[in-house]
Amino acid sequence: MKHCDRCGNEIPDDVTGYDVWVWVVAAVPGEVGYARDVSVTEIVEDLEYRMGTLPEYLITSDVYARRSYYVCPRCKEIIIANPLGKKVP
């Protein structure tokens, strides 16, 4: 049995859990950003290609970070409804 990375509750084996992926990419001033209709896969492949040309010390979480979390159905709905966790008036 797994546990939700957000709330810590157990997720029974007969209940669907969800993988939530977070990609953070630096928006470098002067660089053209990615179009909204570009797939995440295309962006990641482009970044990995571009990072391959950089010295390793420049590739840090300040430029690119990727994390994954396993969450329960309830937390998935909360994340979808308010992904940045902003306070709702």
Average pLDDT, rounded, for the chain: 82
Is pLDDT above 70 for 56?
Answer: no
For residue range 2-18, list pLDDT tens digits in order: 999 999 999 999 999 99
Mean pLDDT of 73-80: 97
Q: For residue 3, which amino acid is it?
A: H
| Domain residue limits, the chain | 2-81
Nearest to 72 by CA among 1, 21, 3: 3
Q: How far is CA 78 from CA 11, 14, 86, in A?
A: 16, 21, 11
